Structure 1
Amino acid sequence: MTDWTGVRERVLALALAPGSDKVFGAMGHAFALDAPMTASEVADLEAWTGVELPDDYRLFLLHVGAGGAGPAYGVFPVRQEDAGRWRWIGDAPEEVEPSELAELFPGGADPAAATRILAEQPSPEAFDDLADLDAALEVWEERLAEVQYDPRFTAGALCLCDEGCGLTVWLVVTGPERGRMWRDPRSDGMELHPLRNADGSPLDFAAWYLGWLTAAEAACGLVPDTGHAGLGQPA
């Protein structure tokens, strides 16, 4: 379990560091963080979602912030709306539904299903009229999107980060992959896949976030206290 002590202060300090605006995504989040959540708020969030959040992410919410500055364009903040519904706020189109978040994470999409649709792409040679080809391609693209973006493929996972150009990063909250980070490059025609450390081991939320923080500090010429348990890999 990671010690998050001092991490919030380190992130906020980057806003004043020379050159911090050159860190990718900084123009979006400006190294700002939402306030940390209370224990009762986290408990209510878990009751609403029907899942127990991975330890590292729960402690991040309690000691660092409900979201804000982080890898790429930041960690989507989670906030409670007037009706008591919790919502992760971001530019990604995915909306978290409690019924889907509590389901078992299937480990990504079914590549065979997408392969079948890809093989059926309309060929220009089969059409004499360009308008007919465009209409056929539009129908085909809709079918492909329905297969590639079937919400069942990301059930049990939480969309936490926008990397730009439709690329997102997810935290798995159920099943054998619980606590691990997955990347979603479906907008580039690739499949969901797990993120990994340099040694090939699965990347968890703490390593993902703290790795970004250490790299951002290095880019700004800051040298963190490497003796602190919360500065590198999870303790």
Structure 2
Amino acid sequence: MVDQQWTGVRRRVVALGARADSGQVFGSLGHRWVLEDPLSAAELAELEAQTGARLPEDYRDFLTGVGAGGAGPAYGLFPVRRVQGRWRWEGDGAELADPSMLARPFPGHGPDPESLAALLAERPEEEDFDASEEFDDAVEAWDERWEAVMFAPERTAGAIVISHVGCAQREWLIVSGAHRGTIWSDCRADDTDLAPLVDDDGRPLTFAGWYTTWLEAAELTSRQ
């Protein structure tokens, strides 16, 4: 049985999309208020069997009671689809998540802050080089070191990308480990580590809180 918190949510999203001013909501031109059809219980079971991980309960209920993706925060909730017999999440950056690592606990912490600060301090500055070619080579070498640390696959084990915020910034849903069920912001493209999203009271934001907060704000925006 689908949790009552999702009762009427699909209808509310459809109603929002039908409003003449719905385009005022940030990111709506990306998802266009379209919701995928919900997954059946059998499809959800197949998805979880393939990934080896049980998805957070509120997300499971959303997938089977509201939709398998589409209209949602930012440019939309990444849809999960079966492609050539295998399930996968689709969207800008969805491939950053490794489906084979979803059952592994999400680490919840990044590199040692002091080590990270030291690496940032070593980033090349153009004024330190006599030739632009030398500077470009140094930047390329530093970028490789940075990406090896910040984008190591182990950093996002037990998590899936579910939304693109823009400018290579994304949001992840943690599916395994102590942080299971929470949403994390990914601004690593701006040299900022992954960090949990929190509500107004400073508590970790769950999938349900993340989605319903967006929906309520979208309804207010379209009324203004």
Task: Place the TM-score, normalised by the shorter chain, in its bin.
Answer: over 0.9
Change (3 A) 1:205 1:72: same
Normalised TM-score (structure 2): 0.93
Name the SS of the counterpart of 1:73 in structure 2.
Answer: coil
Residue of structure 1 in register with 2:107 after alignment: 106
Cα distance per residue 1:74-125 (max 9 Å; x no partner): 100000111x211111012534333211111000421444333223223445
Query: Aligned AA for 2:105?
Result: L
- Aligned residue pairs total 221
Query: Aligned AA for 2:134?
Result: D
The reply to whether residue 92 of structure 1 matches residue 131 of structure 2 is no
Aligned partners of 1:2 and 1:206 also within 8 Å: no
Change (3 A) 1:25 1:125: closer
Unpaired segments ≥5 residues, structure 2: none
Q: CA separation in 2, counterparts of 1:108 and 1:211? A: 26
Query: Aligned AA for 2:119?
Result: I
Q: CA separation in 2, counterparts of 1:130 and 1:103? A: 44
Residue of structure 1 in register with 2:210 after alignment: 208
Cα distance per residue 1:112-151 (max 9 Å; x no partner): 4433322322344553322112111111112112211112
Query: Aligned AA for 1:198?
Result: D
Change (3 A) 1:53 1:2: farther
The reply to whether residue 189 of structure 1 matches residue 191 of structure 2 is yes
Q: CA separation in 1, counterparts of 2:99 and 2:170? A: 20
Q: CA separation in 2, counterparts of 1:180 and 1:132? A: 43
Backbone CA RMSD of aligned residues:
1.7
Q: CA separation in 2, counterparts of 1:19 and 1:149? A: 39
Query: Counterparts of 1:33-44 in structure 2 under 5 Å?
Result: 33-44=35-46
- Choose from 119, 122, 125 the match for 2:124: 122
Aligned partners of 2:94 and 2:160 also within 8 Å: no
Structure showing the higher helix proportion among its residues:
2
Aligned partners of 1:184 and 1:193 also within 8 Å: yes
Name the SS of the counterpart of 1:142 in structure 2.
Answer: helix
Unpaired segments ≥5 residues, structure 1: 223-235
Change (3 A) 1:216 1:126: closer
Shift of 1:159: 0.6
Name the SS of the counterpart of 1:71 in structure 2.
Answer: coil
Aligned partners of 1:87 and 1:96 also within 8 Å: no
Aligned partners of 1:2 and 1:56 also within 8 Å: no
Q: Which 10-residue stretch deviates more, 93-102 or 139-148?
A: 93-102
Residue of structure 2 in register with 1:219 after alignment: 221
Q: CA separation in 2, counterparts of 1:187 and 1:208? A: 22
